[in-house]
């Protein structure tokens, strides 16, 4: 065996060992969360191919580099080697081979994307509402659920999420489902998932969306069909809006408009002051004045949040409730012929939380 062949064989062996070791380290360090949807299968497969390729490339470069540095190190008395530039065959090979690999991966991914976003005949629609900084879900097929802050899905049921944003860009991401999709103001974006593993997961917003982006998290429960049916059966059918009390409506608006993502009702301070015991107290404002929390003050706080800022809080309450509430009232008046004062409902609800 010539010296060159021996060097090449040694390097080839080291590259193989290096690839295997790197692959195991990579997959041990970058462990994916458990896969809980049918879409996860092909995506994880793609991840795996990428990890293997990365490991091979890493080993190829590092082994050649270290081997040359160690074995061909200049020793005392060594002559300077011959100078040569370029190697056409090598350059063609290392251009064409990666090209083929990248194009193949591209084609593979395109087919995969078409497959995991394809409509299925028996889909169940779920509406997803994202806003700073909470999620709300509703089920067009099960109106009795109303708005819920917990996403409950039956296992093995193809789901189509219809997603809207009230304010800025958000992104729906359950790592265990692997797929991810932005919510874009003014559009309805879709995401298809078939959960195939029961369990509790979390949806997190994956698009920086302001001060409390990091707490924009909601529970996702994947349950058996029987448990799902039971959950639906437990939902009390929603009364028509004009048969509900103002307090009940107020509680519902708080979820629908997302007040409850910043205002708790249990005394815990969130992005905004808690509503527990709020009504009737004397509030310290940023400008040093004090004010008694009464109906008029609450109405102003909702419709014009920047005017009377509570001391110790950022001016982060959304400024567009005035428009959103008017639009919702107009919609209810038009569709159901009911005149409502949503702010009055909210006030009635907050009043009941006084201590
Ligand atoms: Cu967000």
Q: pLDDT tens digits, residue range 304-318? A: 998 889 998 988 888
For the chain, what percent of residues have pLDDT higher than 90? 61
DSSP states of 166-218 as a string? Answer: SSS-EEEE-GGG--EEEE-TTS-EEEEE-B-S-EEEEEEE-S--STTGGG-EE
Q: How far is the CA of 260 from the centre of ligand 1 (A)?
A: 15
The residue with tokens 């708005």 is 147
What's the gap in Å between 131 CA and the centre of ligand 1? Answer: 6
For residue 97, the CA-to-ligand 1 centroid distance in Å is 41
Per-residue pLDDT of 208-247, as tens digits, reads: 998 889 889 999 999 999 999 998 888 877 777 888 899 9
287 CA from centroid of ligand 1 (Å)? 31
Q: What is the pTM of this model?
A: 0.70
Cα distances from 296 to residues 250, 299, 310, 343, 344, in angstroms, run: 16, 5, 15, 10, 10
């Amino acid at each position: 065996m010539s010296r060159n062949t021996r060097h090449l064989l040694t390097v080839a062996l080291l590259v193989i060992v290096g690839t295997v070791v790197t692959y195991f380290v990579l997959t041990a360090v970058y462990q994916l969360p458990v896969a809980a949807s049918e879409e996860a299968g092909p995506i994880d497969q793609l991840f795996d191919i990428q990890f293997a390729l990365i490991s091979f490339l890493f080993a190829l470069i590092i082994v050649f580099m270290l081997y040359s540095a160690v074995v061909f190190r200049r020793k005392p008395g060594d002559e300077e080697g011959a100078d040569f530039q370029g190697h056409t065959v090598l350059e063609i090979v290392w251009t064409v081979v990666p090209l083929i690999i990248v194009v193949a991966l591209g084609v593979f991914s395109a087919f995969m994307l078409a497959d995991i976003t394809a409509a299925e005949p028996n889909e169940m629609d779920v509406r997803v509402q994202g806003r700073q900084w909470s999620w709300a879900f509703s089920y067009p097929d099960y109106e009795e659920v109303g708005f819920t802050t917990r996403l409950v899905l039956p296992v093995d049921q193809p789901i189509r999420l219809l997603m809207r944003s009230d304010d800025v860009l958000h992104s729906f991401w359950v790592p265990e489902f692997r797929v991810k999709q932005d919510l874009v103001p003014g559009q309805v974006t879709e995401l298809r998932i078939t959960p195939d593993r029961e369990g509790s997961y979390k949806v997190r917003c994956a698009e920086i969306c302001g001060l409390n982006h990091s707490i924009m998290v909601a529970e996702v429960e994947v349950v058996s069909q029987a448990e799902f049916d039971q959950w639906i059966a437990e939902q009390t059918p929603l009364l028509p809006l004009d048969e509900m009390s103002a307090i009940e409506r107020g509680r519902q608006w708080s979820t629908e408009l997302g007040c409850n993502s910043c205002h708790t009702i249990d005394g815990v301070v969130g992005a905004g002051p808690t509503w527990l015991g709020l009504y009737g107290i004397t509030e310290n404002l940023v400008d040093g004045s004090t004010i008694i929390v009464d109906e008029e003050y609450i109405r102003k706080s909702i419709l014009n949040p920047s005017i009377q800022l509570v001391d110790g809080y950022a001016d982060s309450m959304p400024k567009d409730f005035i428009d959103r509430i008017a639009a919702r009232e107009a919609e209810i008046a038009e569709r159901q012929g009911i005149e409502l004062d949503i702010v009055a409902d909210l006030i009635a609800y907050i009043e009941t939380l006084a201590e």
